[in-house]
Homo-oligomer: A and B are copies of this chain.
Amino acid sequence: MSGNSFGKLFTVTTFGESHGPALGCIVDGCPPGIELSEADLQADLDRRKPGTSRHTTQRREPDEVRILSGVFEGKTTGTAIGLLIENTDQRSKDYSNIAETFRPAHADYVYSHKYGFRDYRGGGRSSARETAMRVAAGAIAKKVLAAKGIEVRGYLSQLGPIAIDPARFDWDQVNANPFFSPDAEAAEQMAEYMDALRKEGNSIGARISVEATGVPVGLGEPIFDRLDADLAHALMSINAVKGVEIGDGFAVVNQKGTEHRDEMTPDGFMSNHAGGILGGISTGQAISAHIALKPTSSLRLPGRSINASGEAIEVVTKGRHDPCVGIRATPIAEAMMAIVLLDHLLRDRAQNADVSTDLPVLADVDQGK
């Protein structure tokens, strides 16, 4: 396929422009017999949808998803699952002025070159609106994983200069504030920071963390489809992501071997610097990944650019934009990790379903957060 599909056995293919009639998705390879309803998907879609706080775009998209196939009498049938979300809040007139304009740090310039022209309404296919479908597909993956005891959860770990304090980490806070911050105090600081930023007309980057627990030992396919490599692929494919880390990530550059290695004892792994992946294969520990999202490119502060004729112009982006795309990215990152994990679960059992061992299985000795 040409780029709109992800996953080898649990395969997600999406379509849809931000201002076209609808977004859609086909989820292929879902195991049969899983209870599934639209409500299962809606919960995560509502976490991602815009307009739920003053810190995100005020566009109003209900993002109501319909399941069009692959589910019968409340259960997945094993056949392709078709999903559809109608676009309702299309104000194309907001965007007509940018048809001949290349907004800086947007995909306008590259799409126009690659395809000869572009759907300029709201970013078209390059809009982050497409991630709604990732979230819907990810919710299906989460449901299947949950039946295997695997849970995927994410949180915002840093917004601009404000990092969460591990000492105040509380999973219960994550869905209790508009930032997905596990640190309630940091969330308050973020709210203030965002209020000032909106006034300024500027935007800011963010760091999101995702982790999975309950993952069995053995997921990941050497050499090129390692679990970490596929996670990197999945997470880097999210709009605005510029960096991916597994476990300690870039901190390993200045770690010594004695510091980094996760020692094993009969009680379990003594640490998890590796982020739950060795040699590209899950260790049974918590899988952890982190991503960096760049600041939103749509700003009302003027920026230099050129138009389609190559003339110098000044660009000011009006309209309704997220001043921090990272804020709504937590459910998207969760979705992508869930899709990768389910895909690898299926791949592993394809090849290794007959393997049985009595090798010791190590618990993850609790390190706190």
From A47-55, A176-184, A357-365, the one touching the partner chain is A357-365
Report A232 CB to chain B, min CB distance, Å: 4
A150 close to chain B: CB less than 8 A: no
Q: Which residue of B lies closest to A200 (CB)?
A: B256
Binds B, one of A18-26, A57-65, A166-174: A18-26
Most chain-B Cβ atoms within 10 A of its Cβ — which of A7, A9, A247?
A9
Bound-state Cα–Cα, A106 to B226, Å? 14
Q: Are B72 and A124 in contact (CB under 8 A)?
A: yes
A56 interfacial by beta-carbon distance below 8 Å = no
**Binary per-residue interface labels of chain A (89-110) against chain B in the complex, 1 for a CB within 8 Å, 0 otherwise:** 0000000000000101111011
A77-B118, A236-B229, A349-B353 as given contacts; A110 in contact with B21, CB under 8 Å: no
Evaluate contact between B77 and A124: CB separation under 8 angstroms: yes
Residues of chain B with a CB closer than 8 A to A327's CB: none
Contacts of A104 in B (CB 8 A): 261-264
When all copies of this chain in the complex are counted, the total is 4
In the complex, chain B residues whose CB is within 8 Å of the CB of A124: 72, 77, 79
Contact partner of A114 (CB less than 8 A), chosen from B205, B243, B251, B281, is B281
Does A293 interact with chain B (Cβ within 8 Å)?
A: yes
Q: Which of B4, B218, B351 contacts A31 (CB 8 A)?
A: B351
B78, B232, B311: the one contacting A244 at CB < 8 Å is B232
* Residue A367 is within 8 A (CB to CB) of chain B in the complex: no
Selected A-B contacts with CB under 8 Å, 16 pairs: A1-B5, A9-B9, A9-B350, A16-B80, A29-B350, A78-B352, A110-B283, A197-B256, A203-B257, A206-B253, A228-B241, A229-B232, A239-B279, A243-B249, A250-B250, A252-B295
Chain B neighbourhood of A350, CB < 8 A: 9, 29, 346-347, 349-350
Task: Give Cα distance in the complex from A171 to B352, angstroms.
Answer: 34
Contact A306 B252 (CB under 8 A): no
Please tell me if the beta carbons of A114 and B78 are within 8 angstroms of each other in the complex.
yes
| A356, B259: Cα distance in complex, Å | 47
Once A22-B82, A116-B33, A353-B349 are accepted as A-B contacts, the answer to whether A257 and B28 lie under 8 Å apart by CB is no
Residues of B within 8 A of A306 (CB): 264-266, 360, 362
For residue A310, which residues in chain B have a CB less than 8 angstroms away from its CB?
266, 359-360
Contacting residues, chain B, for A112 (C-beta < 8 A): 357, 359
Are B247 and A244 within 8 A (Cβ)? no
Interface residue A130 (Cβ < 8 Å from any Cβ of B):
yes
A36 within 8 A of partner (CB):
no
Beyond the given A107-B280, A260-B297, please list 18 additional residue pairs across the A-B interface where CB-CB is below 8 A.
Answer: A2-B11, A3-B223, A3-B224, A4-B223, A17-B69, A31-B352, A112-B357, A114-B352, A116-B356, A125-B223, A204-B257, A224-B234, A226-B236, A245-B250, A255-B295, A264-B306, A306-B362, A349-B349
B2 and A29: CB pair below 8 A? yes
Smallest beta-carbon distance A318→chain B, Å: 14
Given A2-B9, A310-B360, answer yes or no on A20-B69 (Cβ-Cβ < 8 Å): yes
Contacts A160-B254, A350-B349 hold; do A16 and B68 have CB atoms under 8 A apart? yes
Contacting pair B257 A237 (CB below 8 A): no
Q: Mark A126-149, 1 if CB is under 8 A from B, else 0.
A: 100010000000000000000000
B256 to A203, Cβ gap below 8 A? yes
